Structure 1
């Protein structure tokens, strides 16, 4: 029997990756696909598809529903999206990231004793971007009215059976929520009882939020009755939120609790449509948002990895893990120093950073037998014919810029001993993701976030304010492009992806998880492109995460954010031989049961004219196809 057991194990591990089983079934559809962070929100997308909406309408409905369900975001947060337009055959980038309000200066936060802006409360808030981003997408790429698209979310705001995840988070964070009177009113529905938050399955009512959403729809309806165009009616809803009575109450409630946002800030902010950034990896065009996100780090990593034969290394072999870990460290070191808001800080060297030649130079730094704990930013400026204006700043930090030598990090970049649980919480800090596609060819990938629990609600609007200010730095030595200033967008972790092959959609994917987003998306993509996994298998496949980067979220001290060189999170099923190899290379190992995401994705089967949906087994993410 012992020999038979060993034989069975050999047979199982010898199965090709394409034959491996998944815990969730593949989703198939020929008309449309809706995948997001909550089953009810996926249902909202399905409802809109059934009313004749396209993928943009459905994505907006899912966005509204997830915000209403507090799926680690709220209406006061931020939205960023990639959209494939089948009419123009182009990928469009939507920037609906709020900016820092009036008074949000380095001096202000340092005067309060912070090394980074706070992670919670009214001072963590940028201007809300999600309502404006949603309306912008509807105006330019959707078909339906705001009233139709918001109907599922409004129904939920009137009362829905709350899921355990959100309800238990409210209970866990109740002491913090009690600091803010409007949050306390909304979330702690049983004040004074042992459990003050809603119970799982309880009908959770948000009267103030319903009023806010109703006001927006009323503005649209009134404009249509006056004979205004669809666009003008949608803009009437937009203006009521950012310039009208909703704005006034939002500002009043924010400032009452110590926030900085003004009416002028709300009126001045606008969503933006951008050209996405793109590189080609072995015949596949990979699209990401611009450098106000961390998305280009994945593009840089792919340029580095293109110099290696990854397939021959074997999926999650020690050599494969080591090579990806080093490539990610190199790209994240550049992210941490060079990325920031292109609207307020010109001159980020994105052409150099994304050049194949620079990727090859960075690839040459990878040491084959050990982890390089001293990786720092490179010098991409020569690859766009310029001199680096920050050489002196980098030298002051202690980085070696001579490419014939190894970069090395100064002592304060080499990690600290903060508790593992606290660090990992910051590394993984969540959002949600939304994937939608339809038979007309529209594809939408969104990673919205902000206003997550424990959220500070702005007055009687029912809207949780963003916490994205914490992604700014207060010291230009950390990143000269991402220093906080009024009217500036922080460099965020949020990072949807679109992939085209032969000029047509190939994959669409996004994932929650703070600084791990582009780590997991990189591995997901390679699972498909290099190892031939189906989209569902690729979402569930075991990934790993590096901690050798500056955290973008959490903590107000430098020691809370600094890198932990060599620390790696592996799946529990990692073979002993791989563990031993990695230890010899200088890695410090930790383990988890699920290390896949949660990733949501859509694959486009042009041979059969069908859509394949994938949603990892990591959390509550779910999809519906038809």
Structure 2
């Protein structure tokens, strides 16, 4: 070892075995990324490079986000694609304000609650034709592009088309989840033919002579290349009103489905106003329902009165207070987050400080809640997604999330189109009178949520944490790590996470929590904390994997941007 390096290392304070060997910081798997002009953070290194290439060629952050998202639909079909929905928050440096887009689709108009009852179903199935809703992604691309794009959509889609035609190597985490999906989804028409490769009977993971691509193998999707090419030439209507829509209509008619040409032709997403709360001087922004973003705002409001910094990261108080606040927010989430066209969620009340003060009286420092009732309505999660964020040299920042919902979605993959439809309709409740009850032409409760933070009216952070019900929990934990515990952007994502599971859900049979649920703690929390939580009545367990996927871009006060990417995924933050 060279003398200078040795001297520096000896001068550092002793660190835990998990600490970075140079800095001594406990939760950094790698350094933050700094760049003077632009930044992209996605869950796939090639998609990150696509975004940077688009911006280097003169594209805006929105152009780059569209290009990277299209590439991710090819490269990470385990989480997203043109068969899913999309939500985004855009910081526009010209107007100096945030713009939100809700790109979620509606249920088929020919499918009714009575049909589910006729089939004897108490919850919507996870796979097959019944949970399929109209995919909103393509419409969202064009809406975002019309307002904020600079390059043509053909140019934006060209990188994904090229990779789909010529191939790309599959990354490790994606290969793992792809392989897990094959046995479940192979029964649905079109899936095996388009999303598996031949294999020998003695190969591990071989299902009926087919398997998912393995790590490092080249994957091509010529059908998706053709679909994206048609969209590039014909615009959004090529997908919703053209030959693609007619082929989708015929496919579902042939396979006991209800999604029809008229459902696609009628689709339109909408611009929405983001909603905020202030947490210790930072304005945190989420999109309103039918998504779950305001749950993060509710949790932050409930936690603000407590001195979390004094308690310290990983302390029993930190984990306990977070979990109890989550239980209260999720009780409201189950009761009143729904399609605003069908139910008026009392958003202003739910995110108010006064409401949080009243609800906060239910939190005990000594005992864990076994049940949590909603505070507004007297009656009344295995998701996979991609989150990405992009920032350009002009100051535009995009926080974008896109999903097929449960892993690779419904399994329904129309022949020759190269994508799988989402199963987002599984999130409806088959219970008349519930705000999220199934109805024809209705948007389901949505788990995918982008986030943004401003400080004194200026952009500070564009970030998200994908992963079903983990998302608002992850949003809050990242901010606590940054604001209360003083971590940097990469540490904030690498620090061990908390996930509480078992709250009343706004989906399925909406069974109420009665036993306090389960508290999952990622490796890294001290055993003293685990024992203290158990004494308070928490049911603590170890779970490997349900902690979400994080990407973030922060404005560097010295100029340019800071980027961070999830250490639990295949992703990359990079800039120029």
Q: TM-score, normalised by structure 1?
A: 0.84
Question: Kindly tell me: are residues 596 and 182 of structure 1, through their superposed partners in 2, closer, same or farther at Cα, counting changes over 3 Å?
Answer: closer
CA distance in 1, matches of 2:95, 2:528: 50
Residue equivalent to 2:413: 457
2:427 corresponds to: 471
Shift of 1:192: 6.7
Are 2:533 and 1:582 aligned?
Answer: yes
Aligned ranges for residues 227-246 of structure 1 at < 5 Å? Answer: 237-246=235-244
Change (3 A) 1:101 1:440: same
- 1:9: Cα distance to partner? 13
Change (3 A) 1:299 1:476: farther
Q: Is the 8 A contact 2:371 2:515 kept in 1?
A: no
Pick one of 172, 188, 191 that aligns with 2:196: 188
- Which residue of 549, 554, 558 corresponds with 1:603? 554
**1:449 deviation in Å?**
0.2
Aligned residue number for residue 85 of structure 1: 92
1:52 matched residue in structure 2 = 58
Residue 15 of structure 2, aligned match among 12, 17, 23 = 12
Identify if the C-alpha distance between structure 1 residues 343 and 120 changes in structure 2 by more than 3 Å, giving closer, same or farther.
Answer: same
Check conservation: 1:546, 1:568, Cα contact below 8 A.
yes
Where does structure 1 lack aligned partners over 5 or more consecutive residues? 1-7, 220-236, 380-389, 395-425
Distance in 2 of aligned mates of 1:543 and 1:178: 33
Once the 2 structures are TM-superposed, how far is the Cα of residue 312 of structure 1 from its aligned partner?
A: 1.6
How far off is 1:502 after superposition? 1.2
Q: For 1:539 and 1:168, how far apart are their aligned partners in 2?
A: 22
2:224 to 174, 193, 209: 209
Note if contact 2:292-2:333 (Cα within 8 Å) is conserved in structure 1: yes
Q: 1:192 to 1:562 in 2, by over 3 A?
A: farther
- The 1:440/1:599 distance shift into structure 2, 3 A limit, reads same
Aligned-partner SS, 1:41: helix
Q: Secondary structure at the match of 1:122?
A: coil
Q: Is the 8 A contact 2:27 2:495 kept in 1?
A: no
Alignment of 1:208-607 (within 5 A): 208-219=223-234, 237-345=235-343, 347-379=344-376, 391=378, 393-394=379-380, 426-427=381-382, 429-450=383-404, 452-453=407-408, 455-476=411-432, 480-551=434-505, 565-592=516-543, 597-606=548-557
CA contact (8 A) 1:253 1:460 kept: no
Aligned residues: 552
Task: Quote the Cα distance in structure 1 between the aligned partners of 2:178 and 2:454.
Answer: 40
CA distance in 2, matches of 1:307, 1:21: 26
Per-residue CA deviation, residues 374-416 of structure 1 (Å, 9 max, x unaligned), is 211013xxxxxxxxxx54x44xxxxxxxxxxxxxxxxxxxxxx
SS of the equivalent of 2:101 reads strand
Distance 1:488 1:18, change over 3 A: farther
Q: Does 1:133 find its partner at 2:133?
A: no
Tell me the CA shift for residue 557 of structure 1: 5.9
Q: For residues 378 and 152 of structure 1, do their structure 2 counterparts lie closer, same or farther at Cα, with a shift above 3 Å needed?
A: same
Counterpart in 1 of 2:5? none
Matched, 1:163 2:171: yes
Greater share of residues in helix: 1
Query: SS of 1:42's equivalent?
Result: helix
Query: In structure 2, do the counterparts of structure 1 residues 178 and 315 end up closer, same or farther at CA, with 3 Å as the change threshold?
Result: closer
The root-mean-square deviation of aligned C-alpha atoms, in Å, is 2.4
Moved more, 585-594 or 500-509: 585-594
Give the SS at the match of 1:623: strand
1:119 to 126, 150, 153: 126
Residues 91-137 of structure 1: CA deviation (Å, up to 9, x unaligned): 11111101111223222112222222111112111101111111111
1:123 partner SS: coil
- Rounded to whole Å, the distance in 1 between the matches of 2:463 and 2:284 is 11
* Counterpart in the other structure of 2:181: 173
1:96 matched to 2:78? The reply is no
> What is the Cα deviation at residue 166 of structure 1?
3.9
Query: 3-state DSSP class of the match of 2:371?
Result: coil
Say which is worse superposed, 510-519 or 171-180, in terms of deviation: 171-180
Query: Contact 1:99 / 1:487 at 8 angstroms: preserved in 2?
Result: yes
After superposition, the Cα gap between the structure-2 partners of 1:613 and 1:338, relative to the gap in structure 1 and judged at 3 Å, is: same
Q: Identify unmatched segments of 5+ residues in structure 2.
A: 1-10
- 2:215 pairs with one of 185, 200, 206: 200
Please report how far the alpha carbon of residue 23 of structure 1 lies from its aligned counterpart in structure 2 after TM superposition: 1.0
In the alignment, is the contact (CA less than 8 A) between 1:370 and 1:586 conserved in 2? yes
For 2:191 and 2:56, the matched residues in 1 are separated by: 35
Q: Check conservation: 1:86, 1:441, Cα contact below 8 A.
A: yes
Alignment match, 2:3: none
Change (3 A) 1:167 1:355: closer
Deviates more, 1:289-298 or 1:12-21: 12-21
Contact 1:476 1:482 survives alignment (8 Å): no
Are residues 545 and 214 of structure 1, via their aligned partners in 2, closer, same or farther at CA, if it must alter by over 3 Å? same
TM-score, structure 2 length as denominator? 0.91
Sort the Cα spacing of 1:432 and 1:260 in 2 relative to 1 into closer, same or farther, 3 A. Answer: same
- CA distance in 2 between counterparts of 1:35 and 1:374 reads 38
Task: Give the secondary structure class of the aligned counterpart of 2:354.
Answer: helix
The CA deviation at 1:267 is 1.1
Cα gap change, 1:173/1:305 in structure 2, threshold over 3 Å: closer, same or farther?
closer
- Is 1:42 matched with 2:48? yes
1:500-521 deviation line (CA, Å, top 9, x unaligned): 0011111111111100111011
